[in-house]
Amino acid sequence: MIEQIDNDLKQALKNQDKFTLSVLRMLKSEFINESRKGTLHELTDDEVVKVIKRQVKVRKDSISEYTNYGKMELVKDLEKEVAILSNYLPEEMSEEQIAKVIDEVFDELKPTSMKDMGNVMKTVSAKLTNADLAMVSKLIKDRLS
């Protein structure tokens, strides 16, 4: 995965795509920071995906904040950054797939109130591979209320 990002970085440099280049350089910097945590090591693909997901989440949070303040130019740039970073992430589960897992967990645990939210969320998260946990949380809350 890191090789693919390196190749794309080189291609952006050749194409003089300054925006993509800056996003990929920032991502490489985050990889270096992550590899220095604890003992110095080479990142696994799982660690790379976690770093990318974290960066996407930061940008999505910023998008909502900038939208609230009407800074639409910054929102457009952040959306382009999310699009570039998302190219390196595995495809997320659909809302229907997530709902199916939630149904299974509800049949298994039989939660009765919002007090069961933590237990349900923990069990559902363990069964999901690539899902937007904010969406998962919202679906569970809707179901519990």
pLDDT above 90 covers what percent of the chain?
A: 62
Compute the mean pLDDT over every residue in the chain, rounded to the nearest whole number: 91
* pLDDT at position 93 over 90: no
Q: Which residues contact 75 (CB under 8 A, 6 or more apart)?
A: 63, 66, 67
What's the pLDDT at 59?
Answer: 96
pLDDT of res. 77: 95
Domain 95-144: which topology? Arc Repressor Mutant, subunit A (1.10.10)
How far is residue 40's CA from residue 126's CA, in Å, rounded to a whole number? 28
CA distance 66 to 132: 21
Which CATH number does the domain 2-86 belong to among 3.40.50.720, 1.10.1510.10, 3.60.70.12, 3.30.420.40?
Answer: 1.10.1510.10
* pLDDT score for 80: 97
